[in-house]
Amino acid sequence: MTGSAFDLAGKTAVITGGASGIGLAIARRFAAHNAAVEIIDLQQATLDAAVAELRGAGYDAQGENCDVGDPASVDAAFARILARRGRVHILVNNAGIAHVGNALTTSPEDFARIQKVNVNGVAHCSQAALRHMTAHGGGVILNMASTVAQSAIPDRFAYATSKGAVLAMTYAIAKDFLAHGVRCNAIMPGRVHTPFVDGFIAKNYPGREAEMFERLSLAQPIGRMGKPDEIAVAALFLCSDEASFITGSAYPVDGGTLFLR
């Protein structure tokens, strides 16, 4: 696809949580548009499988086992990536975990666990990327927020808090590093059909899987859940040179969830 729209040839893209779900869809899409893909993930077997898949398709892909909630782990992973690639042009902060519970049913330990990955992880990876980008002509950071950053759903106290913070970080980074040539945006997905959703339904609604899948699907005004690749297409646009005039923005990719329900 060299020379076509949204071409990422010559660019290194780091994708956290890139071994499954939305992250893997983004890795596939970026690789197909000629990026050198670096996947960061904590699950070694899943990471190995994702890298093997991309390489088997003829793409340039590597992986780093990394705990994004640990700044030392993040710095070490970025050091190895930079030693291999020389440059990081794109960072997609996709790694995240979910939790079900309201303000009274969420334990302090669970609250802290969600923030460590979803908030601290974004901060650590952004800091590592920014130290490099500001010294080498800029780059693009894309954060995976959520519609819950702007619109409440029941029993997502810790998760909604974390995604609100991700949205605030997006605006702060975009403002602070504009003069350094860094663009920073966010995507706010609605409910997307991933293996996590299937596992959540199976765990919490045994014997009612089909019923709950339909109910969750119809919660989006468009009448279905999103597909990981539909998020990946938006990510590709926002990280490409075609989006060079876009920074400090949050894009709903949500089947109408924020504004139509």
Residue 75 within a domain? yes
pLDDT value of residue 122: 98
Residue 235 within a domain? yes
pLDDT at 258 over 90: yes
Mean pLDDT computed over 200-212: 91
Mean pLDDT computed over 79-102: 97
CATH number at 139 reads 3.40.50.720
Q: What is the pLDDT of residues 130-164, one digit of tens each?
A: 999 999 999 999 999 999 999 999 999 999 999 99
pLDDT value of residue 3: 63
Both tokens of 84, joined, read 């291999």
pLDDT value of residue 53: 98
Let me know whether 147 and 169 are in one domain. yes
Q: Report the chain's mean pLDDT, rounded to a whole number.
A: 96
Q: Give the domain extent around 58.
A: 12-190+227-250
pTM: 0.96
pLDDT at 113 over 50: yes
Mean pLDDT computed over 72-101: 97
Residue 186 CA, distance from chain mean position: 9
Reported as a pLDDT band with limits 50, 70 and 90, residue 204 is: confident
Residue 4 within a domain? no
pLDDT at 2 over 90: no
Residue 231 within a domain? yes
Let me know whether 185 and 206 are in one domain. no
DSSP state of 33: T
pLDDT value of residue 4: 84
Let me know whether 121 and 204 are in one domain. no
Let me know whether 178 and 86 are in one domain. yes
Phi and psi torsions of 145, nearest 5°: -90, -140
Let me know whether 41 and 163 are in one domain. yes
Burial classification of residue 53, based on how many CB atoms lie within 10 Å of its CB (0-12 exposed, 13-18 middle, 19 or more buried): middle
CA–CA dist 214, 1 (Å, integer): 38
Catalytic residue among 59, 159, 205, 251: 159
Among residues 111, 196, 218, 108, which one has the least CA distance to residue 156?
111
Residue 256 within a domain? no
Residue 169 within a domain? yes
pLDDT value of residue 261: 80
pLDDT at 24 over 70: yes
Let me know whether 139 and 218 are in one domain. no
Residue 96 within a domain? yes
pLDDT at 52 over 90: yes
Phi and psi torsions of 220, nearest 5°: -85, 135
Q: What is the pLDDT of residues 186-203, one digit of tens each?
A: 999 999 999 888 988 998
Let me know whether 39 and 168 are in one domain. yes
- Residue 251 among the catalytic residues: no
Let me know whether 147 and 244 are in one domain. yes
Sign of CA dihedral 176, 133, 183, 65: negative
| Domain count across the chain | 2
Q: What is the pLDDT of residues 217-242, one digit of tens each?
A: 999 999 999 999 999 999 999 999 99
Residue 128 within a domain? yes
pLDDT value of residue 249: 98
User: Which range (29-33, 100-104, 157-161, 195-199) has the least confidence?
Assistant: 195-199
pLDDT value of residue 57: 98
Let me know whether 53 and 167 are in one domain. yes
Let me know whether 219 and 145 are in one domain. no
- 177 neighbors 127 (Cβ within 8 angstroms): no
Let me know whether 132 and 211 are in one domain. no
pLDDT value of residue 1: 46
pLDDT value of residue 168: 98
CA–CA dist 43, 8 (Å, integer): 27
